[in-house]
Chain A
Amino acid sequence: MALPALAFFGVFAVLPLGGVAVLSLMAWDGIGDPAWAGLDNWALALADPATYRAIWLSIQVMVLSWLVQTPISLLLGVLIARPGRFRALLGVLYFLPMLLSAAAIAIAFKALLDPNFGMSRAFGLDFLSQDWLGDPTLALYVVVFVIAWQFVPFHTLLYQGGVRQIPASLYEAAQLDGAGPVRQFFHITLPQLRYTIITSSTLMTVGSLTYFDLVFVLTGGGPGDATRLLPLDMYLTGFSGNDMGRASTLAVLLVAAGLALSLGLSRLSSFSRGSQLEGA
């Protein structure tokens, strides 16, 4: 019964997973036949400052994305978890970005952020008429912001589900003890959501290793290499630079980082599960 699924997954996911490791030891231009190259690709990739720059940019985007998205999704999730017509409407509107393709989002923001014809003219504020995508530092922040715009809805959904599973009796007891909304949030909501926080953080950080299409259409990695994140670096090295072997070394790094992150975070979650049992 599981055979068809395993066949698909095996051929197009597991096999390629091993394949990147093999291809990282080959020289291949993407057209002819791959030829054995030993550790050449690795030596080149690890000696190239561009590799470290891409890794460093990816780490920055990962951390910034987490810092931006987690509080927003948490707050919004709590906000729309409770019943009410207005909250339900908010929920419907909040989830709109989930429907758009990354290409569509990138194109929309590119137009919106255009220094000459974009939103700067709408409000007449000089501060808005910066060259958002032309300045290296600003461009990275714009990328983080647009990624948040795209992914906050999904994480809001997770937190909304998490909040709805918190027993109402906890809040009633707290209310009797005279705890206000702020204390309730920090003493009940937040601790009760810890598994949701871990799930959401895992998906967010591992997901940040796959930010490709949005950045590709929005900035193409530029200006210069200011937003050339690791996945984009892999694509450009392989498919534009015709150096599939070297691109595969970057792919191996991505897989290793993803595995390390999710295993690390799942250990964290089982650890907190254990200590929760001890406390009970």
Chain B
Amino acid sequence: MRTRPNYAGGLAGLVWLAVVLVPVYYVVVTSLRSQRGFYDANPLSPPVDATLDAYGDVLASHFWRYFLNSVVVTAATVAIAVTVSLMAAYYVVRGTSWFSRLTYRGFLLGLAIPLQATIIPVYYLITRAKLYDTLLAIILPSVAFAIPLSVVILANFLRDVPNELFESMRVDGAGDWRMLFSLVLPMTRPAVVTVAVYDGLNVWNGFLFPLILTQSSDQRVLPLALWSFQGQFRVNIPAVLAAVVLSTLPVLALYVLGRRQLVSGLTAGFGK
């Protein structure tokens, strides 16, 4: 359609590409250096004698324990958040009462508030419930904070399911639960994947709740572990950056698998 190339856009695109890639490249090459090499080499040169020593240091520092904690917290949060959000989305789309409209508006409003401002009362609740310094303490508020956007995206998607499908199932005598599992879930699968990936990313990378709601190294999750590695390894920068790489690998795998879903789903969710 257009014949003249867009030089300004292309140039800006390449500059930003460098801005994105230089730090990423720096993290990866530095993580492959020896501690000596880190002080001697040009920071952006390829490592001459690449070594996995830094990764060894990280793996020897209870990395797997933190990794496992992150997996538990992320899996539990995503499973609960997606399930209850799908149920709520079904209710706000199919419900006809004033309360279902109010519910939807409530979740919309939830998007507009910087919920991080509620950390002090959340801390109060968790300590009084004797849940402080447990993984459950991270999971519960993480679910709550994931719900508004999840419901809004799922509801937007669910509105496009033709009414006749619901009606014909209703005629067959299907209750809400059968409707949810045999119709809503299959029809909204792409949106469910989007929401799961997005919520999963947020929880996996979440820092604030683990920081204020856990304390011991037994309950430490990865983002917090990165922060404490900084203090522990101090001048061993390659090890700190190797931990960064290791903590990102699972997300990278997920991204490669679910990129299309994430991108298209998010666009649809915010596009309305």
Give the interface of A toward B (CB within 8 A): 1-2, 4-6, 8-9, 11-17, 19-20, 23, 28, 30, 34, 72, 75-76, 78-80, 90-104, 107-109, 111-112, 117-119, 121-122, 149, 152, 157-158, 160-162, 164-165, 168, 171-172, 175, 180-181, 196, 199, 202-203, 206-207, 209-210, 212-213, 216-217, 231, 234-235, 238-239, 244, 247-248, 251-252, 254-255, 257-259, 262-263, 266
* Cβ contacts under 8 Å, A238 to chain B: 119-120
Pairwise interchain contact A118-B176, C-beta atoms closer than 8 A: no
Pairwise interchain contact A2-B204, C-beta atoms closer than 8 A: no
Pairwise interchain contact B120-A107, C-beta atoms closer than 8 A: no
Q: Give the CA-CA distance A114 to B251 in the complex, in Å.
A: 27
Across the interface, name the chain B residue whose C-beta is closest to A199: B270
* Nearest 9 pairs of A and B residues by beta carbon: A19-B121, A161-B267, A101-B205, A12-B144, A16-B121, A262-B112, A16-B118, A5-B88, A213-B207
Across the interface, name the chain A residue whose C-beta is closest to B198: A98
Q: Does B32 reach chain A (CB closer than 8 Å)? A: no
Pairwise interchain contact A9-B43, C-beta atoms closer than 8 A: no
Tell me the residues in window 213-272 of chain B with beta carbons closer than 8 Å to chain A beta carbons: 222-224, 226-227, 230, 237, 240-241, 244, 247-248, 251-252, 255, 259, 263, 266-268, 270-271
Q: Give the CA-CA distance A34 to B244 in the complex, in Å.
A: 39
Which of the residues A12, A234, A266 comes within 8 Å of B117, measured between beta carbons? Answer: A234
- A22 CB → nearest B CB, Å: 8
B-side interface residues, number (CB < 8 Å): 96
Q: Give the CA-CA distance A266 to B108 in the complex, in Å.
A: 12
Q: Which residue, A16, A175, A258, has most C-beta atoms of chain B within 10 A? A: A16
Q: Could you name 24 residue pairs across A and B whose Cβ atoms are closer than 8 Å?
A: A1-B176, A2-B87, A2-B100, A4-B84, A5-B87, A11-B125, A12-B118, A16-B125, A72-B16, A75-B8, A75-B13, A79-B6, A95-B263, A99-B252, A100-B248, A101-B222, A117-B38, A149-B19, A161-B271, A175-B1, A196-B271, A213-B211, A235-B119, A262-B113
- A29 CB → nearest B CB, Å: 12
Q: Give the CA-CA distance A90 to B106 in the complex, in Å.
A: 38
- B191 CB → nearest A CB, Å: 15
Q: Please, what's the 1-or-0 string for B82-126, where 1 marks a CB less than 8 Å from any CB in chain A?
A: 011101101110010000100100110011111111111111110
Pairwise interchain contact A16-B122, C-beta atoms closer than 8 A: yes
Q: Give the CA-CA distance A111 to B8 in the complex, in Å.
A: 32
Pairwise interchain contact B144-A9, C-beta atoms closer than 8 A: yes
Pairwise interchain contact B176-A212, C-beta atoms closer than 8 A: no
Pairwise interchain contact A244-B120, C-beta atoms closer than 8 A: yes
Interface SS of A by simple majority: helix
Q: Give the CA-CA distance A5 to B80 in the complex, in Å.
A: 9
Pairwise interchain contact B207-A102, C-beta atoms closer than 8 A: yes
Q: Give the CA-CA distance A122 to B26 in the complex, in Å.
A: 10
* Cβ contacts under 8 Å, A91 to chain B: 263
Q: Does B10 reach chain A (CB closer than 8 Å)? A: yes
Q: Which of B56-64, B145-153, B156-164, B166-174 contacts A (4 or more CB under 8 A)?
A: B145-153
Q: Does B68 reach chain A (CB closer than 8 Å)? A: no
Pairwise interchain contact A111-B240, C-beta atoms closer than 8 A: yes
* Cβ contacts under 8 Å, B204 to chain A: 101
Pairwise interchain contact B212-A157, C-beta atoms closer than 8 A: no
Across the interface, name the chain B residue whose C-beta is closest to A5: B88
Which of the residues B21, B116, B208 comes within 8 Å of A93, measured between beta carbons? Answer: B21
Pairwise interchain contact B113-A8, C-beta atoms closer than 8 A: no
* Cβ contacts under 8 Å, B251 to chain A: 99-100
Q: Please, what's the 1-or-0 string for B68-82, where 1 marks a CB less than 8 Å from any CB in chain A?
A: 000000000000100
* Cβ contacts under 8 Å, A90 to chain B: 13, 17
Which of the residues B30, B115, B226, B267 comes within 8 Å of A103, measured between beta carbons? Answer: B226
- A2 CB → nearest B CB, Å: 4
Q: Does B136 reach chain A (CB closer than 8 Å)? A: no
Which of the residues A4, A9, A112, A231 comes within 8 Å of B23, measured between beta carbons? Answer: A112
Pairwise interchain contact A76-B120, C-beta atoms closer than 8 A: no
Pairwise interchain contact A101-B207, C-beta atoms closer than 8 A: yes
Q: Does B186 reach chain A (CB closer than 8 Å)? A: no
* Cβ contacts under 8 Å, A15 to chain B: 121, 125
Contact A111/B237 with A79-B13, A99-B248, A238-B120 known, Cβ cut-off 8 Å: yes
